[in-house]
A and B are shown apart, each in its own frame.
Chain A
Amino acid sequence: MTVATPGPRVIYQRPEVLVDRSSHYCPGCGHGIIHRVLAEVLTDLGLAPRTIAVAAVGCSVFAYEYLALDFVEAPHGRAPAVATGVRRVRPDAFVLTYQGDGDLAAIGTAEIVHAAARGELITTIFVNNGIYGMTGGQMAPTTLLGQKTTSSPAGRDARSAGYPILMTEMLALLPGVAYAARGSVSDPGRIGKMKAMVRKACQAQIDGAGFSIVEVLSTCPVGWGMTAPDSMAHLSEVSEVYPLGVLADRTGGAT
């Protein structure tokens, strides 16, 4: 009697949306993980052929080098306005913005708040690493109190530099927001949960439920002055200020 042996089965491979090339991101940077998660979700949901993405200013402006999607580059902070313009003339498109915390939580606060308030059918991936990485590690609105950066060399002091801004909590209050959640790249378990959030945010747009956003706590080992493993471990401290989880879900139970 012969037993049929199963042939090799592919259980993990590069999603087709992810371009096969080495990236410019620093070792230990979370963008690579987030790009991959986004690529997997877009591939799984079959969205890539109708996606128009908006690249924002910061390290991730080069997202179009790694994601095989149509892209328009926005001025610093304006990605949600640019995405609104795309959305209003392309009702069939899947529209997303990929923004850092300097872009979304500082210079682009008006644009993100009003895109969310209008309930624009766009999905925002908000990468929060608490620092301006591309310009050399300056303080961001999301920088933790006491955190040393090149523009807060003595550590962020609330008396002169205010407090970390919880953008996603603020946005979650708006009725136009269908889904708002915060995930992390700290470890495989949390990456899996974050992927589920990204999927849910994309689904909210597909279903026409409203604006959706996933904030992803990410790393900047170079800007933080840490090794890559230490920066991943540091994310647990960051998530004490920025709690992980779903902050708003008005999708009506759609999965």
Chain B
Amino acid sequence: MTATVPAPDMAEPRRERVLMKGNQAIAEAAIQAGCDAYFGYPITPQAELLEWMAKRMPQLGRAFVQAESELGAINMALGAAATGARVMVSTSSPGMSLMAEAMSYMAGSETPVVLVNVMRGGPGLGSIGPSQSDYFQATKGHGHGDYRVPVLAPASIGEAVELVATAFELAERYRTPVILLADGIQGQAMEPVEPQFRTPERRTFDWALTGADGRAPRVVRSLHLLPEVLEEHNRALQAKFAEITANEVRWAGEQLDDADLVIVAYGTAARVAHSAVALARQQGIRAGLFRPISLWPYPESALREVACRVRGVLCVELSAGQMVEDVRLAVEGRCPVAFHGRTGGMVPTPDEVLDVLRELDDGGRS
């Protein structure tokens, strides 16, 4: 999978390209994907997503509620999703912390909800600048208990549009919450998008609450007080996570075939890395880019395979070093793993990353 811009084909009819802000594009993609209900709470830098929904959802006769808190929003989502509705919530980092509680309940009760986290700087109130410092939280953290949740990380607004539909598909196919992990730049920046909206097919759910009319009552629950019953439930959940791990790994590569040094980066950091790779190539450094799109399940074996044939891997993040732990686990010592990160809303420049690549290149040759 290589992200490339196709050359314009003049024989084809002119395709529609529109300039869209990331937050709005994600919101519209959800609407086009058939989202029945949206619940949110204002927080920068995702407020435009809520505002777009506030305007569009009532126009379409769909549900929109500005909740009293992120706790309220995510629990409204839990309730709506328990009836089989297609549901989205969105927030930014501090709000994600509040939503953590319900993430655990939704994972336990297998409730399909798509959650968008437009990450900002932390910890605490942090900043409203772009950040990737919620990687741990998204991939390993949020609520209590033994569970996993698919995490999708787009690197462009166009890809975000596609991944919104994918997120709904995964949520409904596997009965699970799904996180779309973006950052403040992706939320706020405008990019020309060729909106290729997609509406996932509707499934019928034998668990959805519709009222026990002529059938046995249904209960959407996460409480199983008997240890043997809960262990059985947890085994079933783990089997589902194994199935997701086997089937839903997503990643993209650029110039990996002859690469000597490979940058591993996702989201906005991958955009910077893309430019750094181009600069490096101009200087004769055979650099490539490995871009995880699913952060869980992590493209572990694909990255390991790449690591076997390069001199080194450089992980670039808008954090103090979070994904790099998964990179090291995947690489399993097959080559050196370096890290470069900026935090607090700072974004590395391509030149800055190039400098690190050059050092690694020199180090490898000396």
Closest to A67 in B: B217
Which single member of A64, A87, A110 contacts B72 (CB below 8 Å)?
A110
Looking at the assembled complex, report how far the CB atom of A21 sits from the nearest CB atom of chain B, in whole angstroms: 13
Cross-chain contact A81 with B220 (CB below 8 angstroms) = no
Which single member of A71, A82, A88 contacts B217 (CB below 8 Å)?
A71
| C-alpha spacing A85/B220, complex, angstroms | 14
Which positions 82-128 of chain B face chain A at CB distance < 8 Å? 82-83, 85, 87, 101-102, 105, 109
Q: How many residues of B contact A (CB 8 A)?
A: 39
Cross-chain contact A70 with B79 (CB below 8 angstroms) = no
- Residues A85 and B81 in contact in the complex (CB < 8 Å), given A71-B220, A73-B109, A73-B223: yes
- Residues A51 and B76 in contact in the complex (CB < 8 Å), given A64-B221, A73-B222, A85-B39: no
Cross-chain contact B65 with A82 (CB below 8 angstroms) = no
**Which A residues are CB-close (under 8 A) to B219?**
55, 64, 70-73
Which positions 204-254 of chain B face chain A at CB distance < 8 Å? 209-214, 217-223
**Which B residues are CB-close (under 8 A) to A113?**
68
| Cβ of B69 under 8 Å from chain A | yes
Which positions 54-92 of chain B face chain A at CB distance < 8 Å? 63, 65, 67-69, 71-73, 75-83, 85, 87
Cross-chain contact B75 with A93 (CB below 8 angstroms) = no
| C-alpha spacing A89/B81, complex, angstroms | 9
Cross-chain contact B83 with A52 (CB below 8 angstroms) = yes
| Cβ of B316 under 8 Å from chain A | no
Which positions 73-131 of chain A face chain B at CB distance < 8 Å? 73-75, 78, 81-90, 93-94, 110-111, 113-114, 118
Looking at the assembled complex, report how far the CB atom of B207 sits from the nearest CB atom of chain A, in whole angstroms: 10
- Residues A86 and B217 in contact in the complex (CB < 8 Å), given A50-B211, A110-B71: no
| C-alpha spacing A108/B334, complex, angstroms | 51
| C-alpha spacing A72/B209, complex, angstroms | 8
| Cβ of A174 under 8 Å from chain B | no
Cross-chain contact A49 with B72 (CB below 8 angstroms) = no
Most central of A73, A81, A87, A93 by chain B CB within 10 Å:
A81
Cross-chain contact A114 with B217 (CB below 8 angstroms) = no
Cross-chain contact A90 with B217 (CB below 8 angstroms) = no
Cross-chain contact A75 with B102 (CB below 8 angstroms) = yes
| Cβ of B172 under 8 Å from chain A | no
| C-alpha spacing A118/B68, complex, angstroms | 10
| C-alpha spacing A118/B64, complex, angstroms | 13
Closest to B221 in A: A73
| Cβ of A165 under 8 Å from chain B | no
| Cβ of A69 under 8 Å from chain B | yes
Cross-chain contact B65 with A70 (CB below 8 angstroms) = no
Cross-chain contact B102 with A70 (CB below 8 angstroms) = no
Convert A123-153 into 0s and 1s, putting 1 for each residue whose CB lies closer than 8 angstroms to a CB of B. 0000000000000000000000000000000
- Residues A71 and B221 in contact in the complex (CB < 8 Å), given A78-B71, A78-B102, A114-B67: yes
| Known contacts A72-B219, A73-B220, A114-B68, then 20 further A-B pairs from the complex at CB < 8 Å, ordered by chain A residue | A52-B83, A52-B210, A55-B221, A61-B223, A64-B217, A64-B221, A68-B217, A70-B219, A71-B209, A73-B223, A78-B102, A82-B75, A82-B78, A84-B79, A85-B82, A89-B36, A89-B37, A89-B63, A93-B83, A110-B72
Q: Lowest 5 CB-CB distances: which A-B pairs, in order?
A: A85-B79, A49-B213, A85-B76, A81-B75, A82-B79
Q: Which residues of B contact A (CB under 8 A)?
A: 36-37, 39, 63, 65, 67-69, 71-73, 75-83, 85, 87, 101-102, 105, 109, 209-214, 217-223
- Provide 8 A-B residue pairs closer than 8 Å at the C-beta atoms, listed in order of the A residue: A61-B223, A64-B221, A70-B217, A70-B219, A71-B219, A81-B72, A88-B76, A113-B68
